[in-house]
Structure formats: C-alpha cells, structure tokens
C-alpha cells in the first residue's frame, strides 16, 4: 500500500506487522514517535503485543532480555543518551544470544544538549555483538526493520540487530512508503535456548577462564555466518517485494576514479554529489555503507576514497574512515562532517571530492587541514 | 505449620558453592519449596550468582536467569509479560541481595512495582556487599564495620520496606532465614497475588558479620528476639506482626545480646549504640501502633 510516512512511523508500521510478543521502551527525542505509535497500536487493539512502559533505557533492554529469553519476538527503540544508558544491557543481550530488534534514531551526545543527527551514539555500541544497519530513506527504514527480525531470529545468527536512522533528517521527514504484506517472510520465532521450566537450566551464570572465551568466539562465528543470512534475506525480500539494498549501495562506482563513502542519509545525498561531479567530468561514485556490523568486504581497488564520518573517536579519527583503512589497507580523505546535525549538502560533498587530499583529515566548517 | 508439612522436593541441590553457614542459600531452599517447579528465578549480581555453581554445572533445579546488577526487576518485568503473552502461569521471582535492591537496583524495582508487574521480588539482606567481600551497602546498619566503613558505618540503614510500601503493594512481608516455616508461608501467600509483591528477608552472613558458622540460625533468632528485625506481613495495606516477633515484642532481649556475638559491631561507639536502641524502640512502637489501627 502506498502512503506518505515519516521514518519513525515507517519503523512502527514494520514492527506492527512483525508482531512482537513484547515491546519495552522509554521515550527519547527523536525516537518518541516510534514508541508513541506502537503504544497507540497496542492500546487501540491494532497490535496484540505487550507494551511495557519502562522507567529507563537500562530497564528497556533488561525487559527485552527477560521477554526474549522466554522465546517471544521482542522490540525496542532508543537514541543517543538512551542507547548509552542501556549499554551494559546491549552487551548482555548479545552475550545471551537474544534476537532483539532495536531501532536507534542516531543523535548527538551531550553536553551541550543536542538532539540532531550524529552516528557517534551507535558507534559506541560497535563492539557489543549487535548487528548494525543504517537506513537512508523512509522505505529503507521500513524494509530493513522487517528484514531485521528475520535475520536476528535466524538459527545461524541469534544476535540482536540495531536498525539505525538519522535523527530528524530521516526520523521526521515525510517520504513515500510502499508497505507490504510480509506473510511468511518472517517465520515464527523459535529460540532454541528459550526458558523451559520442564527442563531447568542455568543462564549466564559464573563462567570461568577455561570457558568464557568460547562463548565470545561463538558470537563472532555467528556474526560471520550472518553475512550469508543477510544476503539470503535480502534476496528473498527482493523476490517477494521487488526492492533490494545489499551490504553497500553502490552508485556509479564501476568506472569511478573517486568514491564517496558515507552512511545513512548522507549516503543518499552523496549520490546527488556524484551526479554533479560527473557533469564536471570527475568520474565520481557513491558507496553507501549500509551494514556496519558485520562490516562488509569493499572492493576499493584502484579508487581514491573520500569518507564522510558523522562520528569521531577523539585522539584517533573518523571511525568509519579508520575501519575502511584498516580493512582495506588503503589511505582515504577523511571528512568529519554533520556532527550534532551540522548541515552538509550535496554541494559540500562535491567540494570535498574536488579538494580531496588523500591521507589527510578535515573537519568541515572548522579548518581545511588537521 | 510444622516443618514436616513443607514439601520434601529439593530444588537447590547439595552442591552449591555457598560459604559454610550461609543463610541466604537456606532461605532460597524454602523459597523454591513454596514456589514449586514452574518458577523462574531472576538473579542480579549477588551471592546467589556464585552459590548456584559454575558453568556448565548448576545446583538449581529451576531455571535461573542471571542478569546485570541493576536489571533484575526490569528483566522480570519482560519475562512476566512474555509468559502472560504466551498464556503461561510461570512464577517469576527476583532473588536479589540488599545491594541489588536498596542501592543499584532500586530504580528498576520501583519501576516494576509502579507498573504493576506480576512478580515476587525477594530481597535477601545480609546488610552489605557480601559477594565482593563485605563492603557497605544502603542496608548496612549504623555502627557496623565493613571493609569500606572500617570505623563503623556513620549513617543508618535505608528503610526499603517503607519505600516498597509507598508503591501500594497488595502484599509485602519481612522474614528471616532462621524461621523457615514463616518464609515458606509468606512466599506461598505472595505467589497467590496478581501484581507485584515484596518480601524482605534478613539473612545473617558468618564471614561478613564475623560470627562462627554454626551460629547462623541463632543469629537470625537473636535479630528477631531483640526486636532489631521484625517479622510482619502487610496485606492490602493492613499490617499484621508475625508470631515470633509478637512474642519478642512483649519483652525484647537486650540489643547487646544480638550485637555482641558479631565481630562487625566490635567497638561500636556509645552514641551509635544508643541511637540503634532508640530507633529500635521507636520502630517497635510504630509497628505496634500500625497493627492496632489495622
């Protein structure tokens, strides 16, 4: 069905169709519309889920953990400070192998208080064992949320999935949305280690140095296996509903000399910058990084790379830029832009490419060189 | 109720890693007996994290879900709602220490109570962070020495029962490890209610309180007989003092009888002792008056 929707509403609609047994969430700007919409679905009887209005994000994730281990589908949504507040429990969720799906509306961290888009919040969850995917359109936010449940709950994965969308620039904008009837696209959840009082076992008890690392490796093994599951899920989604994305979304990359790599809405904006540059005779391309964990294999051979980071690791550099450099043994032009909702448009991105100095880093609006 | 009436089934096996004379594992034995096998125990970081055994072994014969320190009640919230969503009547019981209840876990407990979560929250109280070697908690009494109050605690124990009561619980109670029938009855009763219930159980700790292991029952009895710990139930807001405390309140033993055998109160200053006595007397008076009103 075609309609107009915000990114937040699109997520809520997908969750309604996935029909989790339990949703536990705490409101935070700019995520509120997701939880308000779900609360309304539940209250009005449109969605037969249990909605737990918890008193904090730490408790939101704890409640999702408690619900998920009984074997029901589970969802929550958060942003920025909320995500960081639940950080202890995001680790627990992954370690406990619970296929919780969470929407994270990317937002900057205080101080000073800033409610606008930035990716540093989710980057701080990088090493928790969550799969991370970044949407760039309302449609993609919706499609990806449906896919997230199937991927998380797949027996070869059983890890939580975080669907990221940029605060305001995606959460609150209106775009066309074509909803689907998921049918059996998301199979019924079967958690092999669900609590069974008829077969009592211990969960998460003391695990010594002779055992603990094995569970860590098991997370990594599943993270690696998730690559195939993601690909198969996207393929089936494309077959059923006619839309596909991939680990990266590549735009005019094949013959490109220089590629812009960005995530989220910037990744879409970069496609416009690419067209502008092409008109000028610069063979540019855009590679929008969609899945951040597991980190995709990128083919950057023979290309110059401009990475736009909407995040930063102080004392080190742009996080995406450094991940790409480390993974691909290459140098990039690292642009730090869009922190705290800083406006960056396609003209700016085109200029990053024109003035690129591979091997260097700039902070947009601060200086040309660092 | 006589002890022979308590079910013979054991849900906590004789292979725990509890310290000798541990009263919290003794308490848990009766909690399980009252709850039966269709129960999940949610355990935050506390002595029970260790007592249950080391992976891949467990001494517990009901599912035990271990969760982060501050998260037990919230985890139980999710579990309880999920069981209801599946039409299951499984008991969800949080079994948390005093640190996980009065300190780091108080927010999630308060939230779960306020939301009307259908679960039983049990705080077993050994009046300090026992698992990590006896650091002070909000439950440590005035004057008690812990590793972080080496000169004795200078402030009083937090009144968690008053805080719990402020959530309008349909049922709440206190208990003590030295009175197993009382624990059994109160847990069984709590589980008949829908919605949140709370039981606060004093659990003396030989290494932490510094008394000989064989005195662990005696120490609990002295706590009750001195009036330092009062056993009661509050059902729909109505207080009824339990029989052992009713007897004790007629003529409480001197407080010194309870404090003297415990190394943690060695050298308690006169002012702290006097304050403890005054507050003990005031508490007994307050509870008697509340019961008379009911």
pLDDT tens profile B78-133 = 999 999 999 999 999 999 999 999 999 999 999 999 999 999 999 999 999 999 99
Per-residue model confidence as pLDDT tens digits over B210-231? 999 999 999 999 999 999 999 9
Using a pLDDT cut of 70, give the percent of chain A over it: 99
Interface contact A276, partner B, CB < 8 A: no
Please list every residue in chain B whose beta carbon sits closer than 8 Å to the beta carbon of residue A195: 40, 63, 65, 79
**pLDDT for residue A45 is more than 80:** yes
Residue A370 has pLDDT above 60, yes or no: no
pLDDT, tens digit, 9 for 90 and up, residues A249-301: 999 999 999 999 999 999 999 999 999 999 999 999 999 999 999 999 999 99
Q: What's the confidence (pLDDT) of residue B1?
A: 82
Mean pLDDT of A204-223: 97
Question: What percent of chain B has pLDDT above 70?
Answer: 100
* Mean pLDDT computed over A323-350: 96
Nearest CA-CA partner of A68 in A224, A215, A212, A194: A194
* Those residues with Cβ within 8 angstroms of residue A302's Cβ, 6 or more apart along the chain or in another chain: none
Q: Which B residues 34-73 touch A at CB under 8 Å?
A: 37-40, 42, 49-50, 52-56, 58, 60-68, 70-73
Lowest model confidence (mean pLDDT) among A84-93, A94-103, B10-19: B10-19
Question: Residue A367's pLDDT band (boundaries 50, 70, 90)?
Answer: confident
Is the confidence at residue A369, as pLDDT, over 60?
no
Backbone angles phi, psi at A168, to 5 degrees: 65, -55
User: pTM score > 0.95 for this model?
Assistant: yes
Mean pLDDT, residues A187-216 taken together: 97
Contact B68, A89 (CB under 8 A): yes
What would you measure as the largest C-alpha separation in chain B, in angstroms? 58
- Sorting pLDDT into bands at 50, 70 and 90, what band is A368? low
Contact check, Cβ <8 Å, A24/B61: no
- Backbone torsions φ then ψ of B196, nearest 5 degrees: -75, 140
Q: Confirm or reject contact between A210 and chain B (CB < 8 A).
A: no
Average pLDDT over residues B190-200: 98
pLDDT tens digits for range B130-154: 999 999 999 999 999 999 999 999 9
Residue B209, pLDDT > 60, answer yes
Can you tell me the distance from the alpha carbon of B115 to that of B131, in angstroms, rounded to the nearest whole number?
30
Instruction: Tell me whether B114 touches chain A (CB under 8 Å).
Output: yes
A31, A86 in Cβ contact below 8 A? Answer: no
Q: What is the mean pLDDT of residues A58-85?
A: 98
Q: CA of A41 to nearest chain B CA: how many angstroms apart? A: 16
Rounded to whole angstroms, how far apart are CA atoms B107 and B73? 9
A30 contact partners, CB below 8 Å, separation of at least 6: A8, A79, A105, A107, A115, A167, A168, A171, A172
| Mean pLDDT, residues A183-210 | 97
Q: Please report residues of A whose CB lies closer than 8 A to that of B16.
A: none
From A64, which residue of chain B is nearest by alpha-carbon distance?
B78
Which chain B residues are within 8 Å of A88, Cβ to Cβ?
68, 70-71
Per-chain mean pLDDT for chain B: 97
Written as six digits, the tokens of A345 are 């448009």
Residue from the list B72, B84, B107 with its beta carbon closest to the beta carbon of A55: B107
Question: What backbone torsions phi and psi does residue A142 show, to the nearest 5 degrees?
Answer: -65, -55
- Per the structure block, which two tokens stand in for B283? 């508490």
- Unique residue bearing structure tokens 């002012």: B271
Q: Which residues of B touch A70 (CB under 8 A)?
A: 79, 82-83, 86, 88
Residue B155's pLDDT band (boundaries 50, 70, 90)?
Answer: very high
Query: B241 - beta bridge partners?
Result: B232
| pLDDT for the residue B294 | 81
Q: Region B172-201: what's the mean pLDDT?
A: 98
In the prediction, which pLDDT does B9 show? 96
Residue A159's nearest CA partner among A291, A278, A42 is A291
Q: What are A357's two structure tokens?
A: 């100095």
Q: Are B73 and A57 within 8 A, CB to CB?
A: no
Rounded Cα–Cα distance for residues B269 and B275 (Å): 10
Chain B contact set for A66 (CB, 8 A):
42, 65, 67, 74-80, 82
| Cβ pairs bridging A and B (under 8 Å) | 161
């Amino acid at each position: 069905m075609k309609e107009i929707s915000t990114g937040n509403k699109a997520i809520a609609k997908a969750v309604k169709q996935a029909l989790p047994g339990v949703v536990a969430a705490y409101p935070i700007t700019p995520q509120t519309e997701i939880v308000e919409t779900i609360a309304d679905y539940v209250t009005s009887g449109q969605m037969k889920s249990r909605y737990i209005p918890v008193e904090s994000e730490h408790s939101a994730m704890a409640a999702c953990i408690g619900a998920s281990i009984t074997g029901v589908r589970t969802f929550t949504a958060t942003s920025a400070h909320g995500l960081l507040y639940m950080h202890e429990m995001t680790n627990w969720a992954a370690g406990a192998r619970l296929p919780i799906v969470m929407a994270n509306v990317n937002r900057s961290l205080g101080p000073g208080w800033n409610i606008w888009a930035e990716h540093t919040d989710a980057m701080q969850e990088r090493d928790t064992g969550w799969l991370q995917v970044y949407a760039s359109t309302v449609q993609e936010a919706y499609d990806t949320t449906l896919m997230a449940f199937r991927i998380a709950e797949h027996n070869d994965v059983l890890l939580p999935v975080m669907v990221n969308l940029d605060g305001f620039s995606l959460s609150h904008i209106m775009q066309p949305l074509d909803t689907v009837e998921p049918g059996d696209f998301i199979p019924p959840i079967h958690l092999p280690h669900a609590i069974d009082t008829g077969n009592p076992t211990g969960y998460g008890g003391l695990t010594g140095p002779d055992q603990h690392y094995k569970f860590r490796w098991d997370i990594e093994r599943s993270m690696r296996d998730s690559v195939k599951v993601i690909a198969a899920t996207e393929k089936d989604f494309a077959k059923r509903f006619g839309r596909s994305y991939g680990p990266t979304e590549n735009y005019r990359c094949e013959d490109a000399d220089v590629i812009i790599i960005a995530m989220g809405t910037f990744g879409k904006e970069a496609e416009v910058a690419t067209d502008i540059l092409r008109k000028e005779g610069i063979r540019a391309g855009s590679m929008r990084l969609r899945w951040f964990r597991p980190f995709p294999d990128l083919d950057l051979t023979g290309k110059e790379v401009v990475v736009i980071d909407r995040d930063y690791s102080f004392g080190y550099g742009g996080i995406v830029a450094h991940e790409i450099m480390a993974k691909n043994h290459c140098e990039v032009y690292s642009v730090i832009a869009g922190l705290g909702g800083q406006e960056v448009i396609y003209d700016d991105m085109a200029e990053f490419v024109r003035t690129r100095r591979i091997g260097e880093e700039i902070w947009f609006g601060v200086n040309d060189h660092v | 109720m006589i002890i022979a009436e308590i079910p013979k089934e054991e849900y906590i096996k004789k292979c725990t890693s509890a310290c000798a004379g541990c009263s919290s594992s003794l308490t848990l034995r009766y909690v399980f007996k009252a709850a039966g096998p269709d129960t999940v125990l949610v355990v935050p970081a506390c002595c029970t994290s260790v007592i249950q055994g080391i992976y891949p072994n467990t001494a517990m014969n009901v599912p035990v879900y271990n969760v982060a320190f501050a998260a037990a009640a919230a985890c139980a919230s999710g579990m309880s709602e999920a069981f209801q969503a599946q039409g299951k009547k499984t008991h969800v019981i949080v079994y948390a220490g005093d640190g996980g209840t009065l300190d780091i876990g108080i927010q999630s407990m308060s939230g779960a109570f306020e939301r009307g979560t259908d679960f039983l929250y049990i705080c077993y109280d050994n009046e300090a962070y026992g698992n990590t070697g006896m650091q002070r908690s909000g439950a440590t009494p005035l004057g008690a020495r812990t590793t972080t109050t080496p000169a004795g605690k200078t402030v009083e124990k937090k009144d968690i029962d008053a805080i719990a009561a402020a959530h309008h619980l349909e049922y709440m109670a206190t208990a003590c490890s030295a009175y197993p029938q009382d624990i059994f009855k109160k847990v069984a009763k709590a589980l008949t209610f829908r919605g949140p219930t709370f039981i606060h159980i004093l659990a003396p700790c030989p290494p932490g309180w510094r008394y000989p292991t064989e005195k662990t029952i005696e120490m609990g009895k002295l706590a009750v007989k001195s009036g330092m710990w009062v056993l009661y139930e509050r059902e729909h807001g109505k207080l009824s003092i339990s029989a052992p405390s009713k007897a004790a309140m007629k003529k409480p033993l001197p407080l010194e009888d309870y404090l003297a055998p415990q190394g943690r109160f060695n050298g308690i200053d006169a002012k702290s002792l006097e304050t403890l006595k005054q507050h003990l007397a005031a508490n007994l008076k307050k509870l008697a008056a509340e019961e008379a009103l009911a």
